[in-house]
Structure 1
Amino acid sequence: MTLIGILLALLLERLLGHLPGWGRPVLFLAVMRGLHALAPQRLWRSLALPVLIVVPPAVLVWWGFGLIEGPIVRLLLSAAVLLLCLGPRDLAEDVHDLLQARAEGDAERAAQLARALQRGAQPGETHRSLVGALFVQSHEKLFGVLLWFFALGPAGAVLYRLVSRLPRLLDETAPDSPALRAADWLHAVLAWLPARVTALVYGLAGSLDDALAAWRQLWREPEPEHGWRTQTWAVLAEVPSASLGAEEQGGAVVPASLEALLTEVLRMQWRALLIMLAGFALTTTGQLL
């Protein structure tokens, strides 16, 4: 049922993705801004805030689904919850907007879109790049949510969606606060294993030898400023980026232009998604479907 729920949610996302405004975090932002307006400033900046925001919704979803007895109703509701937790916005839509702005010569809008794609969790300056940010966004919008949904069901998807979005919100409303530091730490904890699974899947979708070589190089580097947290995002940025090279006789070939590179990122995301779905099928049924 879990695999069917994932497939149903992904299908609905494709069908609904063309609707104007679909995928924008309207509900999340409305609720969070309401809480920000109601909560005392001291609580909003406190160390306990991320737990108070993230844990109750996840527990409520877990408890609510435990009360549902009908398998069909459970399937449909779990697919609906997963659908709401994917994104916000599809990575392909963001990349296409960026390529369109570049094609139209709108340098200001292209720079704005590129900055938006690099918002959120990032490795240190050494590993910061637009292509690396796309792979991080791919994990945050899609793969991380799918992995937590597969592990814990709808509660896992809600948990990771809230955890991945909260640091950006707190960076705007409570910068340099204990709440922001706790949210970053919690995000990194829940992303540690899924990020590495995503990086491995991307390696399988591209040049695995180059991906493993980049991974080994990261292991040999000195520990970054924020240690294991920064390392997680560096793995997500560097390993899939290295796997972009297509294996041909004479070595790996990387797309020459930025447009070709971004297009190949989207193709790799599609291949990686198919590989991950095959892994889910193998795990749940014992054979490839």
Structure 2
Amino acid sequence: MSLIGILLALLLERVLGQLPGWGRPVVFLAAMRALHALSPARLWRSVLLPPLVVAPPVILTWWAFGRIEGPIVSLLLSATVLLLCLGPRDLAEDVHELLRARADGDEARAAQLARALQHGPNPGETHRSLVGALFVQSHEKLFGVLLWFFAFGPAGAVLYRLVSRLPRFLDETAPGSPALQLADWLHAVSAWLPARITALVFGLAGSLDDALAAWRQLWREPEHGWRTQTWAVLAEVPSAALGAEEQGGAVVPASLEAMLGEVLRMQWRALLIMLAAFALTATGQLL
């Protein structure tokens, strides 16, 4: 059922993605702004805030789905929850918008879009490049949510959506607070294993030898803490996998436009590989 729910949600995302404004985090932002307005300043900056934000929706989702008896109803509702947890916005939309701005010569708009794409968890020198940031965004918008959904159902998807979005909102409303520090830690913990699975899948979708070489190089760099290394792996391993193996050695796309297009194609190939792995796992469970 998890695999069918994933396929249904991805299909709906493609169809609904044609609608203007689809994929914007309206519900999340509205709920967080309301909570921010109603919460005392001390609570908003406290370590109590992240559990209070994350735990109730996750527990409610887990409880509600445990009481649904009809498999068809459960499947449709699961796909709906997953659909709402994907994104915000599809990575391809953001990349195509950036390419349109560059083609139109709108340098200010292109720079704004590039900064937005590079705004992610724990920004550091290891993944400040636009291409590396795109792979981080791909995990945050798509692969991380799919992995949590496949492992733990709708409650898992809700959990990852909340812990991945909360640090950015707290960074704007409570910078440097204990609440932000705990939210960053929760995000890093929940992303540690899925991020490495995503990096491996991207390696399989590109040049695996180059991906593994970049991974080994990261292990030799002692300055990376466990949290920083998670995002570095997500950025650098798939970026290395962009090199296509030919007789003369590895080659990479010559221009930024070609590079961004190859990132999107790699994401599509990686998604197919992950879905195939899900299908094999689900078949094994059925057997």
TM-score per shorter chain, which class? over 0.9
CA deviations over 1:173-221 (Å, ceiling 9, x no partner): 0001000000000000000000000000000000000000000000001
**Contact 2:126–2:235 (CA under 8 A) maintained in structure 1:** no
Q: Which amino acid aligns with 2:143?
A: F
- Tell me how far apart the structure 2 counterparts of residues 123 and 144 of structure 1 sit (CA, whole Å): 18
Say if 2:74 is the partner of 1:74. yes
Q: Which amino acid aligns with 1:281?
A: A
Secondary structure of 1:24's counterpart equals: coil
Q: Which amino acid aligns with 2:170?
A: L
Residue 223 of structure 1 and its aligned partner are, at CA, apart by 2.5
Report the equivalent of 2:282.
284
Q: Which amino acid aligns with 1:137?
A: Q
The aligned runs of 1:195-234 (5 Å cut-off) are: 195-224=195-224, 227-234=225-232
Report the equivalent of 1:269.
267
- Tell me how far apart the structure 1 counterparts of residues 167 and 158 of structure 2 sit (CA, whole Å): 15
Report the equivalent of 1:125.
125
The aligned runs of 1:170-181 (5 Å cut-off) are: 170-181=170-181
- Tell me how far apart the structure 1 counterparts of residues 263 and 247 of structure 2 sit (CA, whole Å): 22
Say if 2:92 is the partner of 1:56. no
TM-score for both structures, normalised by structure 2: 0.98
**Contact 2:48–2:179 (CA under 8 A) maintained in structure 1:** yes
CA deviations over 1:125-179 (Å, ceiling 9, x no partner): 1442100000000000000000000010000000000000000000000001000
- For structure 2, list consecutive stretches of 5 or more residues without a partner in the other structure: none
- Tell me how far apart the structure 2 counterparts of residues 69 and 165 of structure 1 sit (CA, whole Å): 31
Report the equivalent of 2:246.
248
Secondary structure of 1:286's counterpart equals: helix
**Contact 1:122–1:133 (CA under 8 A) maintained in structure 2:** no
Residue 250 of structure 1 and its aligned partner are, at CA, apart by 1.6
Say if 2:28 is the partner of 1:28. yes
Runs of 4+ in 1 over 6 A off after TM superposition: none
- Tell me how far apart the structure 1 counterparts of residues 122 and 116 of structure 2 sit (CA, whole Å): 12
- Tell me how far apart the structure 1 counterparts of residues 211 and 100 of structure 2 sit (CA, whole Å): 30
CA deviations over 1:247-268 (Å, ceiling 9, x no partner): 1112111000000000000000
- For structure 1, list consecutive stretches of 5 or more residues without a partner in the other structure: none
Report the equivalent of 2:192.
192
Report the equivalent of 1:100.
100
Report the equivalent of 2:110.
110
Residues 266 and 122 of structure 1, relative CA distance in 2, 3 Å threshold: farther
Residue 123 of structure 1 and its aligned partner are, at CA, apart by 4.6
Q: Which amino acid aligns with 1:236?
A: L
**Contact 1:122–1:136 (CA under 8 A) maintained in structure 2:** no
**Contact 1:207–1:243 (CA under 8 A) maintained in structure 2:** yes
- Tell me how far apart the structure 2 counterparts of residues 136 and 38 of structure 1 sit (CA, whole Å): 33
Count of aligned pairs: 285
**Contact 1:139–1:195 (CA under 8 A) maintained in structure 2:** yes
Say if 2:150 is the partner of 1:150. yes
